[in-house]
Amino acid sequence: MSQRSAKLVATAADVEGLPRAGAPEIAFLGRSNAGKSSLLNRLAGRRELARVSATPGKTRLLHFYEVTRGARSVLLVDLPGYGWARVSKDERVRWQRLVEGYLERREPLRAGVLIQDLRRDVSDDERELLAWLAARGIPAIVALTKCDKLAPMRRAERVRALSREFGLPPARVIATSAQARFGIDLLWKAIDALLHPRSGAGLELRS
């Protein structure tokens, strides 16, 4: 991969506090503890850019990480995790307002990456999230995490089963492990395919 740099450029606690639109953005969503921070660190090539949480779901901010590869910049937007236990209704409402407010009106947003622990079954939360993105025309990628936890045969079975369940093409469901450092380049490839789609299908008619 070409020369790469990464840094935190903004945080936002509410939609009013969003940074000015600039480089294209990719949103990262996932259940708390799914491995989102670890994966973001690998994508950025920085060990501790996003904080790997000992207490799941503690931060309720959007974090904007700018990753520059060669001449191109992209913002990886870390959305607060969902599904944490025992939070008040107020907190849930605040989460929803922040996340939906960002996803619904963010002009530079190009795609959402749903982070899913390979060993967990898909819940209504994930199904709802993907349906919600689809309804708004936001392309989705699923990054399956912690793939090192399963032996290769079992892992391949899970990837196939989850792809079917998510109803996404194989190129949009990527098996990764932040710990074993695999799947990271493939995930970048899936992201790049959405950031820089080839123009047309090869037919360029000129009048």
Residues forming contacts to ligand GDP in the complex (CB under 6 A) are 30, 32-38, 52-53, 56, 81, 145-146, 148-149, 177-179
Residue 135 or 151: the one with the smaller Cβ distance to ligand GDP is: 151
Q: What minimum distance in Å lies between the beta carbon of 12 and ligand GDP? A: 18
Residue 48 or 90: the one with the smaller Cβ distance to ligand GDP is: 48
Q: Which helix (H) or strand (E) holds 175?
A: strand 173-175
Q: What minimum distance in Å lies between the beta carbon of 39 and ligand GDP? A: 7
Q: What minimum distance in Å lies between the beta carbon of 207 and ligand GDP? A: 51
Q: What minimum distance in Å lies between the beta carbon of 54 and ligand GDP? A: 8
E strands, 14-119, in order: 25-30, 62-69, 72-78, 109-117
Phi-psi region of 67 (alpha: psi -120 to 50; beta: other; left: phi over 0): beta
The three-point CA angle 15-83-26 to 5° equals 45
Residue 7 or 181: the one with the smaller Cβ distance to ligand GDP is: 181
How much helix, strand and coil, in percent to the nearest 5, is found in the chain? 35, 25, 40
Q: What minimum distance in Å lies between the beta carbon of 74 and ligand GDP? A: 19
CA dist 65 and 57 (Å) reads 19
Residue 36 or 172: the one with the smaller Cβ distance to ligand GDP is: 36
Residue 146 or 158: the one with the smaller Cβ distance to ligand GDP is: 146
Tell me how crowded residue 19 is: count the other CB atoms within 10 A of its CB: 14
